Amino acid sequence: MLSRISARAYSTAPVKLVSRDATGNLSTLSVVVNNAGSKVGKAGVPHLLSKFGFLNNEVKSALRFTREAELLGGAFSSEVTRDAIVLSAQFLKKDLPYFVESLGNAVAKPSFRPHEFTETVKPTALAESAAAHACPEFVALEALHQQSFRKGLGQPLYYSANQSVTFDDVKEFAASAFTAGNVSIVASGVNEADLAEFVAESAFAGLPAGSTSAPAVTTFTGAETRIASSGASVAAFAIPVAKADYAAYEVVAAAAGTSTLVGSAAPLSKIPGADSKLFKYQDAGLFVVSVTGADAHAVASGIKAAKQAVASLSASALSGAVKAAELSVALQDSFEFSHNIKVSADSGKNFKLGPFNYVAVGNTDVLPYADEL
């Protein structure tokens, strides 16, 4: 609770600023470029753009920034989420001015070089994508997002070689997304007045005005996808969730059994490899129930049992899970990505398992069809 009271937001700063001071010698700084995540624009472009994060800009070469930041002990990363591109850095408190300036240059003064696109950006993006797709859970999640949202949140998170993205696509996307209205800075362990001053002096002040909006969310259910692959099998179903229902589905996840509350006596914890989780985004969420395992037969019976368990959650089980859901929300909450979910006594009251989307990845000869669940 205290964290919300002490977090300050400055309205006069060039970009939205949310910060809090903390004891200790460490600061973290995240530059969130909203509406630049994989839900926006041409598929694959946001991922490629995120890889340009700490490459050459008009002020500094990538070599110079990397060497300087590492000399200061800083750790930094540039990632794409479905909602945003997030550039974050972790460093000693005294180095705040350096990192504000550098992240400002990265966002406001990029100098996209064609050789970087072919030599660095594309190969590293493809490597990250390949590593993610080697994991059947990730493949299943991607399919569920695609079925549930089609466009927007349903677009693939990562770039893949079969998408024809040109260098100009990335530059154009950056020009439209890196605007003052889209960028917000979330900082922890910093003096608020110092941060505001440094941001005002930095390249953030030169960001073009304007903002872009997120694509409208349309949800779909009833789809089924089967993807044959070697390795572990995953069977999962998902329900798109409106933002207002986050609390309700946190209660459902807690009542059914979720990996944030490992070992609870919920029904899914009795099924090997079963999990339920609410993926929360800015405009909508996705509630996913999954079963993973090396033995496809066990996964097949597991997903049937898991569907039964979720469909037959009793009113008393749901009201009994409120306290557990509160804990689950507290454990998932972070300053950088706070969803401000308020679980109340009757949050989960009206839950009834309706139509869903279904995906089977792995040994599809054995995994059941949606209508067999």
Partner 1 sequence: MIRGLRSRAPAARRLVSTYNAAPRFTTLSNGTTVVTEQNPHATSAAVGVYFGAGSRAENPYNNGVGALGLAILGLGLKDGVLLSLYATKELNGVIGQSTNENAAAAAKTVASLVSSYAEVIEKSDFAAAKDAQIAKIDALENTPSSMVLEHLNATAFQGHSLGLPTLGTYNSVSDLEHSDATRFLESALVAHNTVISASGNVDHDAIVDAVESSLKLAPGYKAAAPAAPFLGSEVRLRDDTIPKAYISIAAQGEGINSPAYHVAQVAAAIFGSFDHNAAIAKFTSPKLASIVQDYHIVDKYTHFSTSYSDTGLWGFNAEISNLYNIDDFVHFTLKEWNRLTVSITDAEVARGKNAAKVALLGALNSPVAVSSEIASKVLLNGFRASVEQDLASIDAITTSDVKAWASAALWDKDIAIAGTGSIEGLLDYNRARNDMAMMRF
Interacting stretch for partner 1, rule CB under 8 A, among 136-144, 160-168, 222-230, 318-326?
318-326
- Cα–Cα dist 114/105, whole Å: 19
CA distance 29 to 104: 11
Question: Applying CB under 8 A, which of residues 9, 58, 73, 222 lies at the interface with partner 1?
Answer: 73
By CB under 8 A, residue 350 contacts partner 1: no
Count of positions on this chain that bind partner 1 (CB under 8 A): 62
Q: At what angle do helices 62-71 and 96-108 cross, to 10 degrees?
A: 160
Residues in 89-118 at the binding interface with partner 1, rule: CB under 8 A = 90-94, 96-98, 101
Q: Could you give the string, one character per residue 10-49, with x where binding to partner 1 holds by CB under 8 A and - elsewhere?
A: ----------xxxxxxx-----------------------
Distance of CA 170 to the CA centre of its chain: 21
From the list 39-47, 85-93, 209-217, 306-314, the region that binds partner 1 by CB under 8 A is 85-93
Binding-site member from 111, 120, 218, 259 for partner 1 (CB under 8 A): 120
Strand partners, 291: 235, 274
List the x/- string, 263-292, binding to partner 1 by CB under 8 A: xxx---------------------------
Cβ–Cβ under 8 Å, residues 126 and 134 = no
Pairwise CA distance, residues 105 & 57, whole Å: 7
131 in contact with partner 1 (CB under 8 A): yes
Task: For the segment 200-259, give every residue that binds partner 1 (CB under 8 A).
Answer: none
Q: Which stretch binds partner 1 (CB under 8 A): 32-40, 220-228, 333-341, 359-367?
A: 333-341
Asked whether the beta carbons of 17 and 196 are under 8 A apart, the reply is: yes
Q: Determine which residue in the list 204, 237, 335, 358 makes contact with partner 1, applying CB under 8 A.
A: 335
Rounded to 5 degrees, φ, ψ at 221 are -135, 170
94 or 151: whose CB is closer to partner 1? 94
Q: Return d(Cα 148, Cα 333) in angstroms, integer.
A: 25
Closest CB to partner 1 among residues 175, 193: 193
DSSP E strands, the chain: 8-10, 16-20, 26-34, 75-80, 84-92, 183-188, 224-228, 233-242, 274-280, 284-293, 357-362
> Should residue 68 be labelled a site residue for partner 1 when binding is judged by CB under 8 A?
yes
Helix (H, G, I), strand (E, B) or coil at 18: strand
Binding window for partner 1 (CB under 8 A); candidates: 50-58, 140-148, 171-179, 209-217: 50-58
Longest dimension (CA), the chain: 62
CA distance 357 to 125: 28
Is there binding between residue 9 and partner 1 (CB under 8 A)?
no
Residues of the shown chain interacting with partner 1 in the complex, contacts defined by CB under 8 A: 1-3, 6, 20-26, 51-55, 62-63, 66-68, 70-75, 78, 90-94, 96-98, 101, 120-121, 123-124, 127-128, 131, 188, 191, 194, 198, 261-265, 323-324, 326-327, 330-331, 333-335
